[in-house]
Amino acid sequence: MTTQTPVADDAARLAAFEARIAADESIEPKDWMPERYRSQLIRMMSQHAHSEVVGMLPEGNWITRAPSLRRKMILLAKVQDEGGHGLYIYCGTETLGVDRQELVQQLLDGKAKYSSIFNYPTLSWADIGAIGWLVDGAAIVNQTMLAKASYGPYARAMVRICKEENFHKKQGYEFMVTLARGTPAQKAMAQESLNRWWWPSLMMFGPHDADSPNSDELKKWGVKRKSNDELRQRFVNLTIAQVKAIDLTVPDPDLRYDEASGDWITGPIDWDEFWRVVKGHGPCNSERLGARRKAHDEGRWVRDAAMAYAEKQQRNNRETTERQQ
Ligand code: BYC
């Protein structure tokens, strides 16, 4: 009988894992996976969950000021959906053996990243339409690909989330259509909002491929199916047609159509601005973290009550089982 060394064992397991990825098999929580695959997923999924939860704040800002009951109901439902998305993804992250509390603490301590887009302010009511249209639109382009990610719990969460994001995007565009076809003042409001959200939406897809340190590994392991630039280009192509359909313009003097590729080519993205925001110095970073910390502190009694209730249920179940034996 031969005894395998741990190194040989790991090499064999890694080869088997990579063969499963190559065969497009779904990796499930109890399957063996390289530690680096696990840690990359924890990084990306937790950032995603934080983004959903922090993403409730800019829109939540307008709930009390929605101009009609219909718009208020839609906005309430949308913000609630985003909270639900955060929960699915935190649950998915926990299947990788990490505690949710630890992840939330990283966010509250300012150590975790979340999407740059949510560090911009919602200054006008039109921003609520622009977020649904552009931010959820960008999220769908990105997450439709993630619904094919190799890690089963993440991919399955994305299927459900994309369905809801599609509704969000459609309501956002319908909202912008209404403004763009309204009075000159309403159309100007829609244009002003598009001007502010256009470039930050393109930044959501992350740095150019050449400057994206995580992409190669994530693509090798089938987490990312398309690169940051490929997805950004897809979003631009889809969105420019929608911008034109409502007779608005994007704030990009260099935008041009490339006949050969069929792509809309944008001017340069301001990456200095992007990194400033990612590193915590955007217009609303401290406000967003302050709001999350306040919500966390004020929600402590709810978490304590839920824990006490769960413990009581467990005790009752245990006592019932003991009585029956
Ligand atoms: N913002 O190597 P790269 C929503 C970081 S919420 C901040 O390309 P990767 C919604 C990146 O983390 C949707 N940071 O990274 C909610 C990395 O830093 P670390 C949010 C960014 O992971 C409410 C470094 O830059 N969607 O839809 O290969 C209301 C280098 O980047 C950003 C997701 O989270 C950014 N924009 O690719 C409405 C999708 N971009 O960790 C709507 C899931 C990059 O090495 N995530 N960074 O220190 C992804 O698809 C990928 O993580 C990314 C980045 C494409 C974002």
- 305 sits in which H/E element: helix 300-324
Ligand 1 nearest-atom number relative to CA 139: 27
Please count the CA atoms within 13 angstroms of the CA of 57 that sit on its side-chain side.
23
Give the Å distance between the CA of 51 and the centre of ligand 1: 9
What pLDDT shows up at residue 5? 55
* Separation of alpha carbons 299 and 253, rounded Å: 47
User: In the prediction, which pLDDT does 325 show?
Assistant: 84
Closest ligand 1 atom, residue 213 Cα: 2
**Residues β-bridged to residue 256:** 265
What length does the chain have? 325
Partnered with residue 27 across adjacent β-strands are 151
Q: Give the contacts of 252 (CB within 8 A, at least 6 positions apart).
A: 198, 266, 267
CA dist 79 and 301 (Å) reads: 22
| 47 pocket-lining for ligand 1 (C-beta < 6 Å) | yes
Give the nearest ligand 1 atom to 146 CA: 50
pLDDT value, residue 8: 64
Q: How far, in Å, is the centroid of ligand 1 from the Cα of 155? A: 16
For residues 43 and 38, what is the distance between their CA atoms, to the nearest angstrom? 9
Residue 76's Cβ-count burial label (10 Å; 0-12, 13-18, 19+) is: middle
- pLDDT for the residue numbered 236: 98
Positive or negative, the CA dihedral 41, 46, 49, 50 is negative
The pTM of this model reads 0.94
Ligand 1 atom with the smallest distance to the CA of 142 is 50
Residue 114 Cα to ligand 1 midpoint, Å, equals 7
The closest-lying atom of ligand 1 relative to the alpha carbon of residue 116 is 1
Q: How far apart are CA 247 and CA 242, in angstroms?
A: 9
Give the whole-angstrom CA distance, residue 142 versus residue 5.
Answer: 41
Q: Is the CB of 242 under 6 A from ligand 1?
A: no
> How confident is the prediction along the chain (325 residues), in pLDDT tens digits per residue?
444 455 666 899 999 999 999 999 999 999 999 999 999 999 999 999 999 999 999 999 999 999 999 999 999 999 999 999 999 999 999 999 999 999 999 999 999 999 999 999 999 999 999 999 999 999 999 999 999 999 999 999 999 999 999 999 999 999 999 999 999 999 999 999 999 999 999 999 999 999 999 999 999 999 999 999 999 999 999 999 999 999 999 999 999 999 999 999 999 999 999 999 999 999 999 999 999 999 999 999 999 999 999 999 999 999 999 999 8
Residue owning the nearest CA to atom 5 of ligand 1 = 206
| Domains of the chain with bracketed CATH | 6-283 (1.20.1260.10)
Distance, CA 205 to ligand 1 centroid (Å)? 7
What is the reported pLDDT for 6? Answer: 55
Q: Taking Cα atoms as reference points, which of 270, 297, 165 lies closest to residue 289?
A: 297
DSSP state of 67: S
Pocket test for ligand 1, best of 63, 107, 113, 133 (most atoms within 8 A of CB): 113
Contact 44 CB / ligand 1 (< 6 Å): yes
